[in-house]
Structure 1
């Protein structure tokens, strides 16, 4: 029951959705998928039908917003058992999940790859989990960060490569100038077909296995 001085609440839902961190990040991903990382906070505010100042309550700058986007993607990637599995086993499923997760948002990949991880909690926890597993398994301390960067660089490149045509490396008009490359490209696609995989996935799996095996050999150096 309301008093004479109270204003009754209107029935039903509010006309506009309540702004939240999650809603801002969701809209930012949608905008980045269309416009890439060059979008502005003003454009994001227009898509959300709010003033730019409303976004600053959640993200003081675009860099903070990008960091939040990376944190959300990191949460989607998941743990994959670094606490219990050997690092070189856990890293395989982690890398696969990482590639799929960032591959779903190619427009933001470059920004995610170049922004420092400082003060972005989810990524710091994720990298710490990997580093701890590697050190626990005897990986040389001075090689841990270069190894993580090498693996992540490969994943990011593979995510971008998955957007290219399957036969991106196949000579067409100049095939006669590169007979070995032409046959090798054909053989690679035929092998991928025999494994019931796309050429991009087969390439990723081959490269990931080779990279991890090579990094494991550095434990002796």
Structure 2
């Protein structure tokens, strides 16, 4: 007879790791890294050595898992600068954190980009904090969401660009067809090398600064046209 007695678990560690939300999310990220966003609950269960119903004890469906992945990435992004700094300053380190978080798991970028934020409470809290900073700084209220979506779209696109070949914009195989593009691409690459950062990062930093400057200027112009009348935060 088992020394542990009937109905009792043997002493010591179980032969299989206990299933947790974290282990499910880690496995989902691993699958996304391997095959992009095209993974299933069944694939996660197989990788973990359990049956799919076991996964549903923690997540209601695949979309719920993706929402959890978004939350896990969101915890790596520091949005606290928005509490004190002007939005156009706070958004710079936030955008860099965001890009770095996406860069760790580029396979899930497309799935995350199409996920409604109301499926992830942590994302809602983060965006509420950012919107509060825009309003505090007097940004035209009707332009806050368009500005935020523009910045986020740029970050997502930059995350995808970071996994493309470094010479993605070079017409090196047909230089006679586009000599101006060839020169411009070469100069951009040389500039990135001089600054000591990868080409994709140099492009991101330039684009981010230009985008934020443009959005800030657009907001200021609209405020001037309105005679400086800004609705007080409610």
Per the TM superposition, whether the score is higher than 0.5 is: yes
Matching residue of 1:62 = 62
Q: How is 1:104-115 mapped onto 2 (pairs within 5 angstroms)?
A: 104-115=104-115
* Cα deviation, residue 103, structure 1: 1.3
* Cα deviation, residue 37, structure 1: 1.1
**Is residue 88–residue 216 contact of structure 2 (8 Å, CA) maintained in 1?**
yes
> CA distance change for structure 1 residues 5 and 206 in 2, over 3 Å: closer, same or farther?
closer
Gaps of 5+ in 1: none
* Cα deviation, residue 173, structure 1: 2.2
The two structures have a TM-score, normalised by structure 2, of 0.90
Alignment RMSD? 1.5
* Cα deviation, residue 11, structure 1: 2.5
* Cα deviation, residue 32, structure 1: 0.9
Q: Segments of 4+ in structure 1 off by > 4 A?
A: 4-9
The reply to whether residue 94 of structure 1 matches residue 94 of structure 2 is yes
Gaps of 5+ in 2: 223-234
Q: 2-side partners of 1:204 and 1:66: how far apart?
A: 26
* Cα deviation, residue 191, structure 1: 0.7
* Cα deviation, residue 6, structure 1: 7.5
Q: 1-side partners of 2:114 and 2:72: how far apart?
A: 17
Pairs aligned (count): 218
Query: Alpha-carbon deviations, 1:39-91, whole Å to 9, x = none?
Result: 11011101011110011111111111111100110111122411011111110
Q: 2-side partners of 1:182 and 1:158: how far apart?
A: 21
Query: Alpha-carbon deviations, 1:82-138, whole Å to 9, x = none?
Result: 101111111000101101111111111100000111131111111111111011011
**Is residue 79–residue 130 contact of structure 2 (8 Å, CA) maintained in 1?**
no
Matching residue of 1:137 = 137
The two structures have a TM-score, normalised by structure 1, of 0.95
Q: 2-side partners of 1:210 and 1:107: how far apart?
A: 27
* Cα deviation, residue 27, structure 1: 0.7
Question: The residue matched to 1:63 in structure 2 has which SS?
Answer: helix
* Cα deviation, residue 10, structure 1: 2.2
Query: Alpha-carbon deviations, 1:158-208, whole Å to 9, x = none?
Result: 010011111110112211111111111110011111111111111000000
Q: 1-side partners of 2:117 and 2:85: how far apart?
A: 25
The reply to whether residue 41 of structure 1 matches residue 27 of structure 2 is no
> CA distance change for structure 1 residues 8 and 57 in 2, over 3 Å: closer, same or farther?
closer
**Is residue 80–residue 93 contact of structure 1 (8 Å, CA) maintained in 2?**
no
Matching residue of 1:159 = 159
The reply to whether residue 218 of structure 1 matches residue 208 of structure 2 is no
Matching residue of 1:20 = 20
